[in-house]
Amino acid sequence: MPRRATAERRAPGKRYLPFAIIATVALVVAGTGVMLLRSKQAPAVAGTAAHDSGAQPGAQPPHVRGQADAPVTIEEFGDFECPPCAGISRSIAKLKVDYGARLRVIFRHSPLAKHQHAIEAAYAAEAAGFQGRFWEMHDLLYQEQTSWHHATDVQSLFTGYARRLGLDAERFQRDSASEQAKARVTADRARAASLRVTETPTLFINDRQLPSTHLQPDRLRAAIETTLKGKPAF
């Protein structure tokens, strides 16, 4: 009788043993599935990070108007002292309004040595950018290009523009001379060199260089239209 009672007390544990085994196997399978899923996802995540980090030279993050998922991206290499750059800037601004979310615009610095104040203007734009006003200074520098082009004290004019935009003038002056501003301009110039950009303005549409013959407003618009249709624009 005692031996039978002992067996009866052990019987419930035996009944639950198969369920415990099943539960353990399920946990192992689930854990293995998670590991496999992560291993499959890892290359995609790494690829995205590599793309976003800017494997090619260029200041990061770049100065952008528009959304990352826009079907058309214009990357402009410009010089604030270049008269044709001022003209193309106005054309691009109008196109951005017309195409809205379908167009993204990236600006890259490419100041030319032949323009005496171009590099200082690039630093001024970056300094304004540190206070959240890059594009406002970008537009103002082109708008006032003829005023500062031959100025003897260009820094005073740039500081005046900063005040006009409501910036902290003292900080603007410090930032204009900072290594951070210089580094961003240098990075953009390195990107220009890597793409063999030698003149301004130079535009790329979806990573393809736009021929100089297509810089007129109507031809630029036509190139965007063709790109939107999924066809080679040039």
Query: For residue 42, what are its two tokens?
Result: 């890892």
Give the C-alpha separation, 65 to 191, whole Å.
Answer: 19
User: Furthest-apart CA pair in the chain: how many Å?
Assistant: 114
Only one residue has tokens 């590099």, namely 119
* Cα 234 to Cα 229: distance, rounded to the nearest angstrom: 13
pLDDT value of position 55: 60
What global pTM score does this model have?
0.76
A 10 A CB-CB count for 54 gives: 14
Question: For the segment 8-27, what is each residue's pLDDT rounded down to a tens digit?
Answer: 444 444 454 444 444 443 44
Question: pLDDT tens digits for 93-141?
Answer: 999 999 999 999 999 999 999 999 999 999 999 999 999 999 999 999 9
Cβ atoms of 62 and 108 within 8 Å: the answer is yes
Instruction: Please give the pLDDT value at position 56.
Output: 83
In sequence order, the 6+-apart residues with CB closer than 8 A to the CB of 87 are none
CATH, domain 63-228, list 3.40.50.10420, 3.40.30.10, 3.90.550.40, 3.10.580.10 = 3.40.30.10
**Domain map (residue ranges) of the chain:** 1-53, 63-228
| Burial bucket for residue 184 (CB in 10 Å: 0-12, 13-18, 19+) | buried
Element (H, E) at 109: strand 103-109
Select from 210, 94, 83, 89 the least CA-distant residue to 148: 83
Output DSSP code: residue 206.
T
Mean pLDDT, 10 residues at a time, the chain of 234 residues: 45 46 42 37 30 67 97 98 97 97 98 97 98 98 96 96 98 98 98 97 96 93 95 75
Q: Residue 65 carries which side chain, given as an amino acid letter?
A: R
Q: How far apart are the first and last CA of the chain?
A: 97
The token pair that represents 175 in the structure block: 């930032």
Residue with tokens 């990236």: 106
Q: What is the pLDDT of residue 9?
A: 46
The span from the CA of 109 to the CA of 190, in Å, is 10
Residues 180 and 127: their CA atoms lie apart, in Å, by: 9
